[in-house]
Amino acid sequence: MKKPLIFAVIALLASFALWATVTYPRIGGGLLHMASGIETRLYGLHRAKIDISDSQMMSWQGGPQDAQETVIMIHGYSSEKTVWMRFASHFTDKYQVLILDLPGHGETAFDPSLKYDTVSQAQRVVEAMDALGIKRAHIVGNSMGGFIAAQLALRHANRVQSAVLVDAAGVVAPQESDMAKMLATGRNPFEIHNRDEFIEFYAMTMSQPPWLPRMILDYMADDYIIRRESLIRIFQDFHNTGLLDKHLSDINVPILILWGERDRLLHISSAAIWQSGIPNAELITYPELGHMPMLEAPRKSAEDVLAFFAKHR
Does residue 142 contact residue 170 with C-beta atoms inside 8 Å?
A: no
Alpha-carbon distance 146 to 140, whole Å? 7
**Beta-ladder partners of 139:** 72, 163
E strands along 148-300, which residues?
Answer: 160-166, 255-260, 282-286
Closest CA to 114 of 223, 105, 61: 105
Alpha-carbon distance 166 to 79, whole Å? 14
CATH superfamily assigned to domain 3-310? Alpha/Beta hydrolase fold, catalytic domain (3.40.50.1820)
**How many other CB atoms are found less than 10 A from the CB of residue 146?**
29
Alpha-carbon distance 288 to 57, whole Å? 34
Phi, psi of 165 (to 5 degrees): -105, 110
Per-residue confidence (pLDDT) for residue 38, from 0 to 100:
81
Q: What is the pLDDT along the chain (313 residues), one digit of tens a residue?
A: 444 444 343 333 333 343 444 445 566 556 667 767 788 888 899 999 999 999 999 999 999 989 999 999 999 999 999 999 999 999 999 999 999 999 999 999 999 999 999 999 999 999 999 999 999 999 999 999 999 999 999 999 999 999 999 999 999 999 999 999 999 999 999 999 999 999 999 999 999 998 888 888 898 999 999 999 999 999 999 988 899 999 999 999 999 999 999 999 999 999 999 999 999 999 999 999 999 999 999 999 999 999 999 998 8
Alpha-carbon distance 217 to 85, whole Å? 18
Q: What is the DSSP string of 187-201?
A: --TT---SHHHHHHH
Alpha-carbon distance 60 to 42, whole Å? 13
pTM of the entire predicted model? 0.91
Closest CA to 25 of 292, 294, 215, 293: 215
Phi, psi of 72 (to 5 degrees): -110, 130
Per-residue confidence (pLDDT) for residue 9, from 0 to 100:
35
Per-residue confidence (pLDDT) for residue 5, from 0 to 100:
46
Rg (CA), the chain: 21
Closest CA to 218 of 247, 232, 197, 204: 197
E strands along 26-94, which residues?
Answer: 45-51, 56-62, 70-74
**DSSP SS3 for 208:** coil
E strands along the chain, which residues?
Answer: 45-51, 56-62, 70-74, 96-101, 137-142, 160-166, 255-260, 282-286
Alpha-carbon distance 140 to 38, whole Å? 24
**DSSP SS3 for 163:** strand
